[in-house]
Structure 1
Amino acid sequence: MADRVEILENARLVLADRVVDGWLAIVDGRIAEHGAGRAPERGRDLRGDHLVPGLVELHTDHLESHYAPRPGVRWHPLGAVLAYDAQIAASGITTVFDSLRAGTDPDGSGLGSELDALAQAIADARAADLFRAEHRTHLRCEIPSADVIDTVRAFVRRHPVGLISLMDHTPGQRQFRDMAKYYQYAGRGGRPIEAIRAGTERKIRDGAALNARNRPILVALAREQGIPLASHDDTTLADVAQSRAEAVALAEFPTTREAAEASHAAGITVMMGAPNLIRGGSHSGNVAAHALAEAGLLSILSSDYVPASLLMAAFQLPERVPGIDLAAAIATVTANPARATSLDDRGRIAPGLRADLVRVRTAQGVPVVREVWRAGARVV
């Protein structure tokens, strides 16, 4: 069988350390070679658009909003998964860690027993080759939850997990140490203040005991299964010290510069939200992503709750932080998250790596995805 060959020419290639005007050849789903100037033979003319590696997304909450688009409403699981996948791919993301929440909140939020139905829909879509992007699982474990341990144990018996995050959203600490911000967040959707206050009292009352019981069990389970760990919303030096003792690999959205500096010094990779960078600050009043980037502490960006923010933030980063060029900015959404999760076959434009690629054109300062290839096959 003849090799499948495609040449992309007249492109601005965003390489690991520079941007060059040139061309790229794909053979059987992998990058065969690339070069500056004119291509050795004619291919697809990208008309001067940027060509960047496919984006690697480690933390997106967006799948649950497709499955549960309104309070009390549940969409068809497979339909929700495929609609989400289409949006992910159209945002230039070729590898996504689907963030699925394990553990029921005291106020009843969370997927509960529906977690398995959604995970099974992902497995079914993968088995039927319906996905545009490659999907992996990021299990977001809500530590102060009565059912989180049973839920996680059952889940890992049935489904592969690529990342586990340790999350504690107890009001008065971490992300919600500012109680005014917490009540503002909890009140979205028009929930009665009486119900919010009652739920808040339960969370504060039970949170410490549940955390003390559940966190070491989850850490041990991840270690047994060989699953990398992330710690969510570390705020104090004590939080980081605990993460370091637990061999956490990824600091998700540290809420203070102090925590980010300590994580970085401990060799824990720091990830911040792309919406935080675009908006100029955290919606919870925590440390700004651009401040950490200016200090050399930011390694990875995550789209969090807006998939399209990932590419936009990467292109805006050099404008926000002049010491960061486009190649380094693109690495925060490609090479760096790939490296953090040991995906060594993607994340850069280099011979031998998977041809996960995104053609990007800018319009009024906004990066627009024009085409996407995953393993050499065009998916957008």
Structure 2
Amino acid sequence: MTDSSDAILTRLLSLHPKVIDLGLERVLDLLHRLGDPQEALPPVIHIAGTNGKGSTQAMLRAGLEAAGARVHAYTSPHLVRFHERIRLAGDLIPEADLAALLAECEAANGADPITFFEITTCAAFLAFARVPADWTLLEVGLGGRLDATNVVDHPRLTIITPVSIDHQQFLGETLPEIAGEKAGILKRGVPCVVGPQPEAALEVIEARAARLGAPLLVHGQHWQVEAQAGRLIFHDETGVLDLPAPRLAGPHQIQNAGMAVAALRALGFGESACEAALTRTEWPARMQPLRQGPLVEAAPGCELWLDGGHNPAGGAAVAATLRTLPPRPTHLVAGMLNTKDVGGYMRPLARVAESLTAVEIPGEPNTLPAETTAAAARDAGLPARVADSVLAAVTDLAAEHPGARILICGSLYLAGRVLAENG
């Protein structure tokens, strides 16, 4: 009898001393032992970038599926269950299939060093190669050039979402260095949709594309997108689309929607697929309103939101979203990882929130101590205190500030715990 996926996943965590060790040798070796499934995938769309990868992929999937396509999708991290990372032809991978695939990868790898992300990516590729579909959407885990997903030689399309400073310990200290890692997904002759970029990042992407003969579809050059009167207006070289506003909340989702629409247009899909990409997307923990569960019951009359953005660009996006909502006193409940630029995340939020209550992320070894998160908030100009849990923080805030807006934020790992515990 095959072990449960949870039991196998726990064992796989011990195969490498590091959580992250970028490189392609281990993953290519295991894929070869498994029969090179990466060479048998349905047409691949590969997505890299610092912010917006998940939302852009979710919109693209909604558009493709509305057009009748069967779509595989790979994303990370998961929020509640690992199964969320692997969608087979539209559905989350069943437990029996996941356990069998993980066991197959574990047996093929033996005791050789391999990271958790690398071996689970191999399992996803095995699944995608064996189940018929029309498209495969691959979201980069970290960086691009040396990411375990970057083993497909001939994707149909690549996408680079906005690049900003994050994960410097792995990708480089400067924007051009980080952009160089993201641009590592570009392939010879394969078109790439490029989202809005700082000039220093765009120069690196354009230089690499020129060397590879990869046609670029660049925001601001080949396509533009804007919000107008509650609608989304998309322009490219073939015309103008007047579309509904994205279902996902926040001004930054206009850019993400633009990248999804640009990709659909590049692939030959029409206006109905583009409209569905905006209106049918479901993507939890991206400025998600919470409408039921213990947290909502603990804060009657308050407005509760959940977001998993975690770097400075994510903080800026959340702040911009809060400015678009009807005015209401806003209080934050935040938990952060110790690998993040906490001050950079807090600074834009300090201008739109009245207080922050810091918590630790339950069950997460890399959680930042609550007092450290609170101190970073105070340094950014945001009054802060600590609480033992999200529920305690929400309960206290609701009692002190009836009718307030409460945003739980700071980490996708915290968001996942909240979704699991709040039902």
Q: TM-score, normalised by structure 1?
A: 0.32
More helix by share: 2
Higher RCO (C-alpha 8 Å, min separation 6): 1
More strand by share: 1
